[in-house]
Chains A and B, each alone.
Chain A
């Protein structure tokens, strides 16, 4: 799959949009730019991000969240200081988007078990891919009996990787926040340190793998 698209296709982010009023835009532009994304996972880490509660308000004074599942912006609009990524790498589109994040973000943070080592989706790594497909689409106990049994394959569908990979096995990752999901407090500690120019420091008392 590629972001290059056919000439007759119009994608949502190419449609004309009303610009923000210059004052609001200027305030946003002056902040630290952050892009977020979830790959193969459950978006639980993004929910934990929201779990920062009132800490989030203070953080938003300093950062502007551009592309993310919450803003529904489909493209990274420019150079980002931080990339906040959850989920493991499970298909060709994940790889392509992760590389785009690496190219456009100064610092990338791997957030949660799936991003850090593969997590729950990586439980399929000990089973051959063909067997996984067979179980999901051919021998599935929940398959509709009358439906034709077929393993989906089309040029518009991303190709599933043989195994689920942690992010750092695809691109360089700067920092890791383990946890399934990490606590809002742990995420706040890391982001607050980074946006205030302190280094990464997640103490063992806040570190969790589950």
Chain B
């Protein structure tokens, strides 16, 4: 069923039940997101897609559109909130882009550019996080994890459906864990899928290094904004 909503004051039609990120993208409005994957159940963990819905701040990936909904995306206050959320992620983990294999194809980095982040307004914490190299297929670079939980929900053992990744501990003690035995059973395709799904450089395919030269890397060839809009804007 087709309904009408407004995005930044402009009336658009949308399919009832679609979430705000998809509806906005179909109408050429980019909303950054680090946990939402189109076609998969929403996780709502990163909050980077926060927008104003009828005046209230909400995560766009979690909200299905409804008739008459007034959505504000590029409104100054909520735009700055999204930027602050990205800055928080940069100061919470250790995001050393110059030494990261994922640089140039990292969604967090690409989103930092989209929200015009030059520096984080929050103090950089430099929390020591232990790297896990116990699996043969995957290097787990915990410094870079943003706890989006994409891998936890979407990457499962192909035979049993068991989770391969999990989050252990709470709050500042939380850390991403990998089931080494299950990880060693992963096919090269599934390893690559997990590595590509990770929005940062936390899940590193052990066979993949700095493969693409600077200037030819994923988000340099096409920005994350253009990719997000292209996926739905046909």
Residues on A facing B (Cβ under 8 Å): 110, 113, 116-120, 122-123, 125-127, 163, 166, 168-169, 175-178, 180, 202, 204-205, 207-210
Contact B114 A180 (CB under 8 A): no
B interface majority secondary structure: loop
Q: Which residue of B lies closest to A169 (CB)?
A: B123
The interface residues of chain B lying within 8 Å CB-to-CB of A127 are 128
Task: Say yes or no: is B104 at the interface (Cβ < 8 Å to chain A).
Answer: yes
The interface residues of chain B lying within 8 Å CB-to-CB of A163 are 126
A132 to chain B, nearest CB (A): 13
B127 in complex: contacting residue of A126, A169, A175, A202, CB < 8 Å? A126
Contact A119 B98 (CB under 8 A): yes
B97 in complex: contacting residue of A113, A169, A177, CB < 8 Å? A113
Complex CA distance for A209 and B200, rounded to whole angstroms: 14
Contact A207 B126 (CB under 8 A): no
B140 to chain A, nearest CB (A): 16
A162 to chain B, nearest CB (A): 11
Q: Which residue of A lies closest to B114 (CB)?
A: A204
Contact A204 B113 (CB under 8 A): yes
Task: Say yes or no: is B190 at the interface (Cβ < 8 Å to chain A).
Answer: no
B112 in complex: contacting residue of A113, A118, A175, A209, CB < 8 Å? A209
- Determine which residue in B98, B120, B129 has the highest number of CB atoms from chain A within 10 A of its CB, and name it: B98
20 additional contacts (CB under 8 A) given A126-B127, A166-B124, A178-B119: A110-B119, A113-B98, A116-B119, A117-B90, A119-B96, A120-B99, A126-B128, A127-B128, A163-B126, A168-B119, A169-B123, A175-B118, A176-B119, A204-B113, A204-B114, A204-B116, A204-B223, A207-B112, A207-B117, A210-B98
Q: Which residue of A lies closest to B214 (CB)?
A: A210
